[in-house]
């Protein structure tokens, strides 16, 4: 029989912690809305440590 696997996704914060995960297509619009402001490549040390999770 044919097996249809739905791939998982994983969203990480800039500090490496998991922000969200699931199966299927990621909620790109929600991810973009929750991005922290960044002024350089990685800007400040605490950027991305806002605690918001999907």
In tens digits, the chain (54 residues) has pLDDT values of 566 788 999 988 878 888 889 999 999 998 888 877 766 665 565 555 555 544
Q: Rounded distance, CA 28 to CA 34, Å? A: 10
Q: Where are the domains of the chain?
A: 1-53
Which H helix or E strand runs over 23? strand 18-23
Query: What pLDDT was estimated at residue 9?
Result: 93
Going by C-alpha positions, the residue among 48, 52, 53, 21 that lies closest to residue 37 is: 48
How far is 30 from 25, CA to CA, in rounded Å? 12
Question: Tell me, what's the pLDDT at 44?
Answer: 60
């Amino acid at each position: 029989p044919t097996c249809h696997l739905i791939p998982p996704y994983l969203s990480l914060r800039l500090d490496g912690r998991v922000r969200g995960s699931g199966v299927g297509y990621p909620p790109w619009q929600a991810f973009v809305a929750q991005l922290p402001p960044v002024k350089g490549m990685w800007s400040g040390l605490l950027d991305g440590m806002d605690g918001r999770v999907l």
